[in-house]
């Protein structure tokens, strides 16, 4: 259910946001919202939700050549979105399973798999709540999605990944750097208009405020969305957990991973968010 405000409530707000507040979470699995989000996933004008294809192709080559050594493998793509990576890896001959709880994205991914007669399967569910397929050679969770989970959920997901991998199997994790998460919470409040975007297919005004909780290493971004065709103001929160590199190593080790190696990115391109993200490879 959306958190709706009137103008007076917006003006008089003074309460700090609660991390992972269920009343304000992004409704990624809402049908209408996910349909709009899918358009942004597929856009080749920006890299907001999914990187543009010229970057994706380089990353897929790196995964196929370097991580999978060009050997036919079973790959699990967590938070797969519209299945861009999942289906492209299937084109290389890999057997792939993608999991995401966005109905529009999963519908699109399945249609592309069927259209290309690919060996890819898609599951519409929250990666925290669903059983993972076993016998995987590689499990991947990319583009900073890992940091959107509370620590308890992150540990649970890593434990499930550990169990689904074959001995010697690899995890490809692409989380946000500590300073990237902190900078999100330390930004000044801003407002801007969009002709269309994640929050609406119509023109809207977005007011954004951020907060950084130093003791917890958590950033929260609050979005207040004003749509001319919508009576009330919609409020959404997105929470991010920050980890230092040492904390990533500690967390992965405690969850049963070894041979943990850090890379600047999968492509070494400046446009690959190498300043905001870090690439981690770990084995079981």
Average pLDDT (248-275) is 86
- Does 252 score more than 70 pLDDT? yes
Short-list 193, 199, 50, 75, CA closest to 139: 75
The per-residue pLDDT for 200 is 86
φ, ψ (nearest 5 deg) of residue 181: -65, -45
In the block, which residue shows the tokens 């446009």? 271
pLDDT band at 4 (very low <50, low <70, confident <90, very high): confident
Least confident of 78-92, 200-214, 226-240, 261-275: 261-275
Q: What are 139's two structure tokens?
A: 């499990």
Please give the Cα distance from 74 to 270 (Å, whole number).
Answer: 30
* Cross-strand pairs, 240: 219
Please give the Cα distance from 190 to 208 (Å, whole number).
Answer: 5
Q: Roughly what angle, to the nearest 10 degrees, separates helices 53-62 and 84-91?
A: 50
Q: Which residue has the higher pLDDT, 110 or 4?
A: 110
* Beta pairing class for 218-227 and 233-241: antiparallel
Q: Return the number of other C-beta atoms located less than 10 Å from residue 39's C-beta.
A: 14
Helix (H, G, I), strand (E, B) or coil at 31: helix
DSSP conformation letters of 5-23: E-HHHHHT--PPPPTT-TT
Please write the tens of the pLDDT for every residue from 223-248. Answer: 999 987 777 899 999 999 999 999 99
- Does 271 score more than 80 pLDDT? no
- Does 172 score more than 70 pLDDT? yes
Please write the tens of the pLDDT for every residue from 33-90. Answer: 999 999 989 988 888 888 899 999 999 999 999 999 999 999 999 999 999 999 999 9
Long-range pairs, 149-153, Cβ under 8 A, ≥24: 149/241, 150/19, 150/20, 150/239, 150/241, 151/241, 153/128
Long-range pairs, 17-23, Cβ under 8 A, ≥24: 17/211, 17/220, 17/222, 17/237, 19/150, 19/213, 19/216, 19/218, 19/220, 19/239, 20/150, 20/239, 21/237, 21/239
φ, ψ (nearest 5 deg) of residue 237: -120, 145
Short-list 191, 195, 194, 197, CA closest to 210: 191
Domains and CATH numbers, the chain: 3-25+179-241 (no CATH), 43-175+243-283 (3.40.50.150)
Q: Are 81 and 56 in contact (CB under 8 A)?
A: no
Helix (H, G, I), strand (E, B) or coil at 249: helix
pLDDT band at 268 (very low <50, low <70, confident <90, very high): low
Helix and strand numbers, DSSP H then E, in the chain: 8, 12
């Amino acid at each position: 259910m959306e958190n709706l405000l009137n103008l007076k409530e917006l003006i008089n707000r003074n309460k700090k946001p609660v991390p992972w507040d269920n009343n304000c979470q992004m409704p990624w699995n809402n049908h209408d919202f996910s349909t709009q989000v899918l358009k942004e996933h597929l856009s080749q004008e920006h890299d907001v939700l999914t990187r543009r294809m010229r970057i994706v192709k380089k990353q897929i080559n790196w995964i196929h050549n370097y991580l999978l050594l060009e050997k036919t493998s079973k790959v699990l793509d967590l938070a797969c979105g519209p299945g861009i990576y999942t289906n492209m890896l299937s084109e290389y001959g890999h057997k792939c399973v993608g999991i995401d709880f966005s109905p529009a994205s999963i519908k699109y991914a399945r249609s592309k798999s069927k259209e290309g007669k690919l060996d890819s399967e898609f599951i519409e569910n929250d990666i925290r709540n669903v059983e993972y397929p076993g016998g995987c050679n590689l499990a991947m969770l990319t583009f900073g999605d890992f940091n959107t989970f509370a620590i308890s959920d992150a540990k649970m997901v890593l434990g499930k990944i550990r169990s689904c991998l074959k001995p010697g199997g690899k995890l490809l994790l692409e989380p946000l750097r500590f300073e990237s998460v902190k900078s999100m919470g330390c930004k000044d409040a801003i407002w801007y208009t969009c002709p269309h975007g994640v929050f609406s297919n119509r023109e809207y005004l977005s007011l954004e405020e951020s907060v950084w909780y130093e003791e917890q290493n958590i950033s929260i971004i609050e979005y207040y969305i004003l749509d001319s065709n919508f009576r009330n103001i919609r409020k959404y929160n997105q929470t991010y957990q920050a980890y230092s590199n040492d904390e990533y190593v500690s967390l992965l080790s405690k969850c049963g991973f070894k041979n943990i190696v850090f890379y600047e990115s999968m492509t070494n391109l400046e446009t690959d968010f190498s300043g905001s993200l870090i690439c981690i490879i770990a084995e079981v």
